[in-house]
Amino acid sequence: MSLPAISPTKKFSKLASFMATATTYNVSGVREDLTDALTTLAPDDCPKTSTFPKSPAPKSAYQEWQVDTLAAVSFSGQLEGADISSTQNKSVNRSRLGNYVQNFGSAWSVSRNLEAADVAGVSSEVAYAKSKTLLELKRSIEAMIGSDNDRQADNGTVPGKSRALGLWISVTPGSDVPAAFRTPTASIDTTATASLAESNFNDVFQSTFQKVGGRRDYTLYAGPSLKRAISNFQRVTGATGTTKTYQVTQAAKEHRVDLSVSIYEGDFHVVSVVPDLFNGILDGADPGAATDQQKARGYVINPELVGIGYQFGFESQELPDFGGGRNGWIRSCVTLMVKNPLGLGKFAATS
């Protein structure tokens, strides 16, 4: 009696049911493949500390500078041959402004075992620790300058702090700033970025023009929401329910459509718009987790009226190794000089 024939397909199916699947995760001896690369992604662009002029180095914990203003115009005329009956003290309106220095510092350490280890993407753990600490310090200084920090004297219990742009450019910077030199209310706009129109934008610069005169060049350090609102100035909104349209005039050969506004030329100003994530930030916050205030904040800066003074620059010092490994300290001491808040402006929306 002959047995029924078994097809090759069925034979393979039966054989496969007894075979184990080949894998690498449960095999001894497989080497790890860790690529020789290390990538860190975090906001590290510090436009204010990179572009603000350097002011004179502070010689003490409190640095001062002077401001003055001009008298009202007079064209009532004088009688011919009349003697001078009164004089004016031309220094009567002169005032002194000032700011405290602020120390910044951060320590690093590398254990002996870590220094001896072969780490992917890092040729030297000590060099990596130093460069990372330096970058973190620069971010902290940038964040302080763009914050609402008020000045504070070092009294041995609390550290010295510098007054930041958020408070210098306000109607209530402090009793030490005379009313004649405070930023005018009209130079500060609080319109929500979603509703910001060109008229709101230009009102700030018109206010500055009316106070200081002259058509000037400014830099606007703008949070991302403010930057997008400014770019929308060149776009036309259609009727309700229709798609927003864009009007752009560019040569066809460029094969591109530019929808970004980086330089805005208005009636009273030419302003360069620089994206900035370090405005209105809170102490201890992550710049990458931007708040609505950060995204909407913007500072209108005349570079002739600001400066960063370094009492000492970034100093790196390695400390003694008492057995735990190499360690050190990087520090700096700075102050922010705002020569005259009258000539600056701010966009201070909270959304």
CATH number at residue 238: 3.90.1690
* Residue 308 counted as domain residue: yes
Per-residue burial over 75-101, b if 16 or more Cβ lie within 10 Å, else e, is eeeeeeeeeeeeeeeeeeeeeebbbbb
Q: What is the DSSP letter of 342?
A: G
Q: Which helix (H) or strand (E) holds 301?
A: strand 297-301
- Interval 230-252: pLDDT, tens: 988 866 555 555 555 555 555 55
286 falls within a domain: yes
Which pLDDT score, from 0 to 100, does residue 253 have? Answer: 58
User: Which among 152, 207, 224, 225 is positioned nearest to 341, based on CA atoms?
Assistant: 207
Please state the domain count of the chain.
Answer: 1
Contacts of 187 (CB under 8 A, 6+ apart): 169, 204, 207, 208, 211, 300, 344, 345, 346
Q: Is residue 138 part of a domain?
A: yes
pTM: 0.84
Residue 146 lies in a domain: yes
- Closest by Cα among 325, 314, 317, 331 to 109: 325
Share of the chain above pLDDT 70, in %: 81
Q: Is residue 123 part of a domain?
A: yes
Position 278 in a domain: yes
The pair of three-digit structure tokens given for residue 122, joined into one six-digit string:
């890092």
pLDDT at position 231 = 87
- Looking at residue 317, what is its pLDDT? 93
Res 110: pLDDT:
95
Mean pLDDT per 10-residue section of the chain, whose length is 351 residues: 56 54 65 69 82 95 94 88 88 94 96 91 92 94 97 96 98 95 97 95 94 87 94 66 56 56 84 94 92 96 95 94 94 97 96 93
**Residue 129 belongs to domain spanning:** 47-66+93-242+259-348
Residue 25 inside a domain? The answer is no
What pLDDT, on the 0 to 100 scale, is given for residue 67?
94
**Residue 30 vs residues 26, 45, 120, 121, 150: alpha-carbon distances, Å:** 9, 41, 18, 21, 59
Give the integer Cα–Cα distance in Å for 338 and 167: 11
Q: What is the pLDDT of residue 97?
A: 97
| pLDDT for res 44 | 73
Q: Is residue 155 part of a domain?
A: yes
